[in-house]
Chains A and B, each alone.
Chain A
Amino acid sequence: MNYRNLSINELHELLVKKEVTPLELAKEAIRLAKEDKNNAFEYIMEKEALEIASKLTVPEANNPLWGIPFVIKDNFSTKDVPTTASSNILSGYVPLYDATVMTKLLEAHAVPIGKTTLDELAMGGTGTTGHLGTTFNPHDKSHTRYVGGSSCGSAAATAAGIVPFALGSDTGDSTRKPASFAGLVGFKPTWSRISRFGLFPFTPSLDTVGIFSRNVKDSAYVLNVLAGRDEKDSTSSTKPVEDYTSLVGKSIKGLRIGVVKEILDTLKDKNAIDAFNKSLEGFKEKGAIVNYVHIPTEILSSLLPTYFVLSCAEATSNNACLDGIKYGPYYDGKTYEEVMMNARTKGFSELIKRRFVFGSYALMSENKNELFIRAQKNRRRIVEAVNKAFEECDVIYTPAAPSVAPKFTDSSDRLSDEYLIADNHLVLGNFAGLPSITVPIALINELPYGANLMTKAFEEKELFMFASVLEDISGLKNLVAKEDK
């Protein structure tokens, strides 16, 4: 039987009826992972997965994740399993503990199949900068298009049907943008809703865990397991956990969809505009009210520089521990500074070093007010504008990207509104800490294209409700890329 296109729920039913066992599912996922042609994997956890799956013999009817295979981005600590964050500075590193999300999934008896590739240290949005090279989009067999990043391997593995869900992380749009390019549901929760203990920090004021799945309800199932206070993460929320599946499929009649006019106006691709407008008609047919809300273009144009300053500054500080002494490859030197200099010069790629230098410059005492503090002030201005937009709507709805996955050879004007706004506005959800989800809305020349929904803080249940209606409108549920020949 082919399990590639089955949802968590469908697999769960088969498992409970004993028509398939966790071990059989794990073996099949490992086979597919080994045949992967998209460079999705840093490490395939064959031994670990088979050991875990072979112990799962009594089905748990009330536990949808029992026996379900998954993959996890390689910037989550996994005990006794190599973890590199796709960076040479961490080659050979084997963590001594599990990230809390890994512990929770193991306790739920889900089965980890592998660690997935990412843009080095999760800093990047292309899926091309990890130490194993470019990760490809499973929907493009010619390997000429981006899958997006930084959670490129998790997106590719889920889109290829190797697993029904995967964990990524999301600092700017690292789960939600690849989801658009790969035909997936890509979800980030409210900042603080899921523990980040064991997630390598990039920009802690923005970072969240991300979830990929092939339908909306599956993401809600996974959030049900991952959400909640963790004493190991003092930034995790004490707010009670809800059943995030409870509103999936419910009516949105009379609720207000807010479309940010200034974002829509920067979209140039006719197919993308048509797909988005068609989905708006779908929302109206479902009884929702479409309101055009406003976030000034001048504020939207400031998103990317603000993000760049904040993320580089926080990343510079957070990655100071990568010294080639306690872990990672060791390079000799006459002094300990020389040892570190050699390790960091050889261990980080050019892109990472450039970001660190910029971050360090932004934090210098002479520059701090004009760069770092100014960016923090602008962040508050951005967040106030988002909150104001919510006065006129229950959910903010935008295109997730300017187009389908671009080609590696495509270039964009880095100062254009299309780049600054249409390509980078998803960071609004990170600045404001809001839950946000990308859902496929169209196939354009056989390539997927997604749109994004964002609700107020801790309104994940409502977010999944809107997303499930959008999924119903598009009819694009459980999309899987065609198999490689």
Chain B
Amino acid sequence: MKEYNIEILKDAAHRLLFDMPTEQYETLLKEFDVIIAQMKVLGENPLIDQYEPMVFPFECKTSYLREDIPGEPLDREEALKNAHNKTGGQIKLPKVVI
């Protein structure tokens, strides 16, 4: 397992596109200690690997396609309603290519 320390946690937070004050990383580090220790104890149980990972509690597959029902799409004004920064009918962001 990858080692964890404040720098690793900061890197993970930055990849998730947010930051936290240093003291919050310290709190997080303590939480990591507890959970990682509990998960390691679990890993020491040789029976665990006999089980297949469970994603959903039971099979609930949809094996057909929905009927196509014609309908009105969102108009542009509606689609942009919740965006704060927009121009010319599009969401405006800082330039990607400078």
Contacts and interface: CB of A to CB of B under 8 A. Distances in A.
Interface of A: 92-94, 96, 191-192, 205, 231, 234-237, 298, 302, 304-306, 308-309, 316, 320, 323, 325-330, 333-341, 344-345, 348, 350, 353-354, 356-358, 360-361, 364, 366-367, 370-371, 373-381, 383-384, 414-415, 431-434, 457
B60 A96 contact: no
Contact of A358 (B35, B40, B49): B35
Contacts of A348: 18
A360 B16 contact: yes
Interface in B73-89: 74, 78-79, 81-85
B18 A344 contact: yes
B54 A376 contact: yes
Contact of B12 (A361, A383, A415, A433): A361
A354 B47 contact: no
A287 B19 CA distance: 59
B28 A354 contact: yes
B66 A231 contact: yes
Interface in B33-65: 34-36, 38-40, 42-43, 45, 47-49, 51-58, 60, 62
Interface residues of B, number: 55
A85 B45 CA distance: 39
A378 to B, nearest CB: 6
Nearest to A301: B38
A95 to B, nearest CB: 8
B16 to A, nearest CB: 5
Contacts of A354: 20, 24, 27-28, 31
A325 B17 CA distance: 13
Nearest to A80: B81
A302 B38 contact: yes
A192 B96 contact: no
Interface of B: 1-2, 4, 8-9, 12-20, 24, 27-28, 31-32, 34-36, 38-40, 42-43, 45, 47-49, 51-58, 60, 62, 66-67, 74, 78-79, 81-85, 91, 93-94, 96
Given A360-B16, A381-B48, A309 B39 contact: yes
Contact of A366 (B2, B31, B79): B2
16 contacts: A94-B81, A302-B38, A305-B38, A335-B94, A335-B96, A336-B93, A344-B16, A353-B18, A353-B20, A356-B16, A361-B12, A378-B42, A378-B51, A381-B51, A415-B34, A433-B57
Contacts of B4: 361
B57 A338 contact: no
B93 to A, nearest CB: 5
Nearest to A430: B57
A234 B28 CA distance: 36
A366 B9 CA distance: 14
Contacts of A96: 74, 78-79, 81
Nearest 7 interchain pairs by C-beta:
A433-B57, A376-B53, A327-B82, A330-B84, A305-B38, A344-B18, A380-B54
A316 B54 CA distance: 19
A205 B16 contact: no
A78 to B, nearest CB: 14
Contact of B47 (A309, A381, A414): A381
A377 B24 contact: no
Given A353-B18, A360-B12, A457-B58, A326 B91 contact: yes
Contacts of B85: 325, 330
A329 B82 CA distance: 9
Contacts of B55: 205, 376
Nearest to B32: A358
Contacts of B16: 316, 320, 344, 353, 356-357, 360
Interface centre among A192, A316, A327, A358 (most CB of B within 10 A): A358
Given A235-B60, A327-B82, A353 B24 contact: yes
Given A305-B35, A350-B24, A381-B51, 15 more contacts: A192-B58, A231-B66, A237-B60, A305-B42, A336-B93, A338-B94, A339-B93, A348-B18, A356-B13, A358-B32, A361-B4, A370-B39, A377-B54, A381-B48, A433-B58
A426 to B, nearest CB: 15
